[in-house]
Amino acid sequence: MSARRFDAGRAGYFALNGAIVTFLLAPIAIVAVFAVNPTPYISFPPVGVTLRWFEKFFSSEDFMNALWLSLQVAVAVLVLSMLIGAACALALARGNLPGARVLTAFFMSPLMLPAILTGLALFQIYLLAGIGRPVWGLIMGHTLVAVPYVLRTTLAVLHNFDRRIEEAAAILGASPVRIFFEVTLPLIRPGVVAGGIFAFIVSFDQFPISLFLVLPKGETLPVVLFNYMKFDLDGAIAAASMVSIVMAISVVLLLEKLIGLKAYVKL
Amino acid sequence: MASTADTAPLLAALPAPPRARVSPVAWLVGPALLLFVVFFVLPFGAMALLSFLSGNPASNPNVYFTTRHYERLVGDSLYVEALVATLRIGFVTTIVSLLVGYPLAHWMARMHSRLGHAALLMAVIAPMLTGIVVRTFAWMTLLQDRGVINTTLMAWGWTDQPVKLMYNEFGTIVALVHIYVPFMVLTLTGVIGRIDERLEQAARSLGAGRLRAFYEVTLPLSLPGIMAGSLLVFALSISAYVTPFLMGGTDVLTLPMLIYQQVSSSFNLGFAGALGVVLLAVSLIVVIAYNHVLGRFAGAEKMA
């Protein structure tokens, strides 16, 4: 491309896209401003810098219990969805299952069906079964919506998998079990781990399912934040939000390093 | 040296016979199938069942089948209006997301710099991975009466009193677009990226202007992406709860809000189930259309 004279169409194109990127990022950035602004309610422009909201967040028993519960649930969901999702991906890609395409669409469907209905339906069946609202029930609900992420990233890796490597190992005398642990597993690991990271953040941020399945005083962080925001909008919410934002940014950087975001988006 | 077992992988390398045998690996689908049957299919079945029952069979032995929940739903204009409002908000959110998402997706798909592409991708995915509650909070700080936008407008003397930007459908839709536009961008980027750039260049070398080349070449070829992205955003936005609740105030009442209300304040599980079945029916139609579009797109890809 050569340097050219001013081109209105081109300038408009970039201005429009600049505005769209600002629309995407500015709301996230503004939260950081309110997290350190000392006024007792949300007000603009900021008048100073304080850490009192972070202090309030990290010293509040309600917030900390919720954060701790959310992290525990997210770790459980990470492990479960990695195991279930990776096994399922192997079966779908390698099992010669009849109707594998329909099955894949079925396993992906929790992503598109209203999560609030998944919450309602689980709430109703737990009630019918008379088991109340146990934490493991919440974990299973989260796992259900997290498995599709692991399935997607693992299937993508399996799709690009050169099976001749496994055949080479077999020719050299490796047993099927050894081939699985020494060849297949290391090769699909990036996809499974990337899916697991998605599963963790999906669970940590999950709201509609949790809304139905948490007990009073045993709520996850997003539910506690939502209930707080119904009555009060102050810097403590902004500080709590920063936790979620920092986590999202770390996950994005981690994924980029691990498998490349581009590989993920191509699916 | 080679036993029969060892030659099996070699045989697998040969072109597969038309009907390949189901391999033992297929059993690995078991745990996922179990999870989905117990925690997905059965619960939705329970929801549908309860919507036709007069009460909760676990606590009341005298329940009977009834269609009264559906009659109530159709008979009361409040519920019909909520359904219409839900679909309207979903529809407007989808159109706006398409208008906002398309230029960005086009830019991203045509970006040759690796670094620029990665940076843009992060700018799209980072908001997507931030919680819905957090993003709705961000929009509340921007749009409320003493929020960033109104304070700025008043400080510049553009308006004397705050403009009503939230606690209505406008604010709801703005926040919903922000929340769901990444899905539109990612779907579109994939499709636009697969359109051969040289087609557009050929059109231009034949004398078409940049706009005309876009309208007559790129836009029609990206139609499957537009369809898939739109269906995805529509399916997601009609099931939103947090954003309409917090941004809509008393002005907005959608199906998901009604559903939670029925459970939390009225504890009417049957009626909540009936509302759920209606929302599920709408979503299923959208999901089936989405899979159909993707399936046809994948088919066209294979032929090319």
Model confidence pLDDT, tens digit, residues B16-45: 544 567 777 888 888 999 999 999 999 999
Mean pLDDT computed over every residue of chain B = 84
**Highest mean pLDDT, choosing among A157-161, B66-70, B137-141:** B137-141
Cα nearest neighbour of A231 on chain B: B246
For residues A71, A250, A241, A113, the Cα torsion angle rounded to the nearest 10 degrees is -70
Domain boundary assignment for chain A: 1-50, 60-265
Nearest alpha-carbon partner for A119 in B40, B158, B288, B88: B40
Q: Report d(CA A33, CA A235) in Å as an integer.
A: 9
Cβ <8 Å between A110 and B40: yes
What is the 8-class DSSP label of residue A214? P
Q: Which residues of B touch A16 (CB under 8 A)?
A: 103
Among B142, B152, B287, select the one facing A109 at the smallest CB separation.
Answer: B287
Helix (H) or strand (E) holding A116: helix A115-129
Query: Model confidence over A64-101: pLDDT tens digits?
Result: 999 999 999 999 999 999 999 999 998 888 888 888 88
Query: Mapping DSSP to helix (H, G, I), strand (E, B) and coil, where does residue A218 land?
Result: strand
> What are phi and psi for residue A163, nearest 5 degrees?
-70, -15
Q: Which residues of A touch B139 (CB under 8 A)?
A: 27
What is the 8-class DSSP label of residue A60? -
CA A35 to chain centre: 23
B242 versus A232: the higher-pLDDT residue is B242
Query: Model confidence over B109-158: pLDDT tens digits?
Result: 888 888 888 888 888 888 888 889 989 999 998 988 888 888 888 888 88
| Helix A61-94 vs helix A221-231: crossing angle, to nearest 10 | 130
B4 pLDDT tier (thresholds 50, 70, 90):
very low
Nearest alpha-carbon partner for A225 in A210, A236, A217: A236
pTM over 0.90: no
pLDDT at A20: 93
pLDDT at A2: 47
pLDDT at B7: 42
With beta carbons less than 8 A apart as the criterion, state whether A125 and B52 touch.
Answer: no
**Residue B169 pLDDT > 80:** yes
Least confident of A10-19, A171-180, A213-222, A258-267: A258-267
B215 pLDDT tier (thresholds 50, 70, 90):
confident
Cα of A91 to nearest chain B Cα, Å: 4
In CATH, B85-303 is 3.40.630.30: no
Query: Mapping DSSP to helix (H, G, I), strand (E, B) and coil, where does residue A207 land?
Result: coil
**Paired strand residues for A218:** A215
The percent of chain B in helix, strand and coil, each rounded to the nearest 5, is 75, 0, 25
Q: Which residues of A touch B133 (CB under 8 A)?
A: 205, 207, 222, 225-226, 229
Query: Mapping DSSP to helix (H, G, I), strand (E, B) and coil, where does residue B65 land?
Result: strand
With beta carbons less than 8 A apart as the criterion, state whether B216 and B203 touch.
Answer: yes
Structure token digits, residue A181: 């642990």
Structure token digits, residue B84: 């219409």
B11 pLDDT tier (thresholds 50, 70, 90):
very low
Q: Which residues of A touch B47 (CB under 8 A)?
A: 117, 120-121, 124-125
Cβ <8 Å between B137 and A262: no
Among A24, A238, A251, select the one facing B127 at the smallest CB separation.
Answer: A24
Query: Model confidence over B244-301: pLDDT tens digits?
Result: 999 988 888 999 999 998 888 888 888 899 999 999 999 999 888 888 887 777 666 5
pLDDT at A101: 84
Mutation pick from A102, A103, A109, A117 vs chain B, by most beta carbons of B within 10 Å, is A117
Q: Report d(CA A161, CA B127) in Å as an integer.
A: 31
Cα–Cα–Cα angle for A102, A105, A111, nearest 5°? 160
Of the options 1.10.3720.10, 1.10.150.110, 3.20.20.70, 3.40.50.720, the CATH number for the domain spanning A60-265: 1.10.3720.10
Q: Report d(CA A195, CA A153) in Å as an integer.
A: 6
